[in-house]
A and B are shown apart, each in its own frame.
Chain A
Amino acid sequence: MAHTPKARMTNPAYVLADAGPAIQNLVKATRQGGVDESILELVHLRASQINNCGFCVDYGAKSARKNGVADEKLFAVAAWREAPYFSDEERAALALAEAATRLADASDAVPDEVWDAAADHFDEKQLAAIVLMVAVTNLFNRLNVTVRQPAGAGF
């Protein structure tokens, strides 16, 4: 039998009138840095996996596929280090996404090694877009996990 979870409440982004448009503008800003859409999709997916956001991993995978990310990348991104499918740029972005997502109770959460590898592949504007994407994803994850937003449905 299918598990049909119910949200604890309406998504906060819908309860507060001005939140939705603000979030959309924030997402738009992540697209101003000249980073490939597929990299931003992978970043979103990986951060959402770490934060166990059911709604986000489902939505993110479908959105990534629509944007041309191959299935083999979608299947492997949770364990990308041991997969041959990712470019050096993608690997640097994924490592940054992981470190910047696991901030809680960590010391030296984003080590120089991870930052420098990202800075080798991306210029300042691109780094800004990737860091903002990691941050926005972490915001989404908190909205959806906290209210138990079910995967596969609209808000």
Chain B
Amino acid sequence: MSARMPNPAAVLPEAGPAIFQLIKAVQSGGDVPGTTLGLVHLRVSQINGCGYCVVGGALTAQKEGETDERLHSVAAWRETPYFTDEERAALALAEYATRLADRPDAVPDAVWDEAARHYDEKQLAQIVLWIGVSNLFNRLNATTRQPAGGTW
């Protein structure tokens, strides 16, 4: 399998640095645990069918100490005992905010309110921006068919 072209982030000189700047803005913007952000990225990438992102995301999370049972079950987290209420709220928000296309009331109050119960405004900003950034990654990689196996 080969990519359709190099990743757009590598083709346009200012794109790569801007993306790193954006990642840093999320990571240093507040105190949402890195493990939660890792799960959010993974779940978003699963929904969007981004092969490069699900493999890279799982490998990175594993390196940072995430357990295999959580990595294996995050695709169907609702019926598993491994995730905290905070993580479940973030995962639900990630799912709804990713499935925007052609949907009315895409992010319903129940999902937003549950997230807002667990996270303050700064933390919500981190999570929402991270969902946005993951959706951006997915479009760069899935559209150009980047093969899975690389990490960042």
Contacts and interface: CB of A to CB of B under 8 A. Distances in A.
Nearest to B137: A135
Interface string A7-42: 011101101111101110110111011000000000
Interface stretch (B60-68, B74-82, B83-91, B138-146): B138-146
Contacts of A50: 100-102
Contacts, number: 186
B97 A146 contact: yes
Contacts of B103: 52
Contacts of B17: 25
A101 B22 contact: no
A148 B106 CA distance: 10
A100 B139 contact: yes
Contacts of B100: 50-53, 141-142, 145
A26 B19 contact: yes
B73 interface: no
Nearest to A8: B112
B22 to A, nearest CB: 4
Contacts of A26: 15, 18-19, 22
Contacts of B36: none
Nearest to B20: A22
A106 B133 CA distance: 20
Contact of A29 (B5, B12, B135, B145): B12
Interface string A109-148: 1100001000100001101110110111011111101111
B52 to A, nearest CB: 13
Interface residues of A, number: 58
Nearest to A16: B29
A111 B49 CA distance: 13
Majority secondary structure of chain A interface residues (helix, strand, loop or mixed): helix
A62 interface: no
B98 A104 contact: yes
Contacts of B101: 50-51, 101-102, 104
A115 to B, nearest CB: 6
Contacts of A82: none
A51 B15 CA distance: 23
A145 B129 contact: no
A141 B135 CA distance: 10
A105 B128 contact: no
Nearest to A11: B125
Interface of A: 8-10, 12-13, 15-19, 21-23, 25-26, 28-30, 32-33, 50-53, 96, 99-107, 109-110, 115, 119, 124-125, 127-129, 131-132, 134-136, 138-143, 145-148
6 contacts: A9-B116, A16-B122, A30-B15, A100-B139, A115-B143, A139-B136
